[in-house]
Amino acid sequence: MNSSFDNENSKVLPTISVIVPVYNVENYLDDCIQSLQNQTYRNFEAILVNDGSTDRSLEILEHYAAKDARLRVFSKKNEGLSATRNVALEKVSGDYIFLLDSDDFISPDLFESAIHKFEKNPQIDAVMCEQVQYAGQDQQCIYPVDFNSETISGDEALIKTIDWSIHAQMIFKASVFSGIRYDTTINYGDEVTKRLIISKCRKIAFCSGRYFYRYNPTSLTKKVSVKFFDYGRSYLKVREMLKTRNLYHISQHIIELRLLNILKNLDYYYKNHSMELSPDEKKYAKQSIKELFREINLSYLRKYFKKNRSLPSYLFFTLKTTSYFSYRLFSHLLFPLVKKDYV
């Protein structure tokens, strides 16, 4: 694809600031950085923040940065994804912000196709690309994005991200990040923050560029962590966001069903991996599951099941959720129905 921006040297082009948190990804970092360098739209800066990597990641970053002034490398102690993104946000200077995970990569036309969308309508605050689930050259699955209109509102997008009707791979105007930093008070705080950012957008458009999300179907089973049990808490914060924005009444079934699905997944995760947790971690996991059960609006879900599901499904759900004891008693019957992605 030949860039229409190549001959516009006399014009000051908008800059895209790419935020790339880096932690122990030496095997994938070349693909990530080279996909930036291969962009047809060249006016970007990459803020690459090494989050205390113990492998060769920092060495690789410095190798590329020495040859490309657009790549700016910073290093810090290990604090996690949200804290690392916050450090990067203090360094950005572009008109637009794009978040790229260091084990993922993007198509060469992503930046150019997004910029064209921004130029078409000043009301557009974000442009969503296609997402491809990538597990190797012969294992690719495109995440569908199918809308009748050219744009949707930030509130519409916020609701659609809850059940993953759409993903959140977007280039944003830097202005929507004003006053926002990633939530570091909870694991999976990025689940909350990215939706807050989306909710601030007036209009969101769609472009033909692609984000390749590197998918490892076995990664969760290899990295058992008690942190997964905070996933429900992050979505409870999303529910509070919906209530604050007066969107809960039109999205109640979506968020409550999502919380129910998370509960089932965490139960399944605990069943399969509790032996790999310490006694204190087991206690925390059980407490997290119990708290999530009590926070879900079960009375609403019973009415929803009665109206939208078969009578046996409604009766079983009502019996199962009469108390936490009954839930624990019957929850094992749901395990065969739960996806093994856990969250």
Specify the pLDDT at position 216.
Answer: 62
The SS3 assignment for 248 reads helix
**Low pLDDT (below 50) residues in the chain:** 1, 7, 9-10, 218-221, 338-343
Residue 169: which region, alpha, beta or left (left: phi > 0; alpha: psi -120 to 50)? Answer: beta
Specify the pLDDT at position 221.
Answer: 39
Structure tokens at 321: 């959720």
Structure tokens at 280: 């204190």
Q: What Å distances lie between residue 297 and 170, 188, 252, 323, CA to CA?
A: 31, 22, 9, 13
Specify the pLDDT at position 137.
Answer: 67
Whole-number Å distance between alpha carbons of 96 and 71: 16
CB 14 within 8 A of CB 115: yes
Structure tokens at 183: 């939530």
Each residue's pLDDT tens digit, 7-37: 454 467 899 999 999 999 999 999 999 999 9
Specify the pLDDT at position 145.
Answer: 65
The SS3 assignment for 186 reads coil
In sequence order, the β-bridge partners of residue 18 are 46, 98
Each residue's pLDDT tens digit, 119-143: 999 999 999 999 998 877 665 667 6
Q: DSSP secondary-structure letter at 71?
A: E
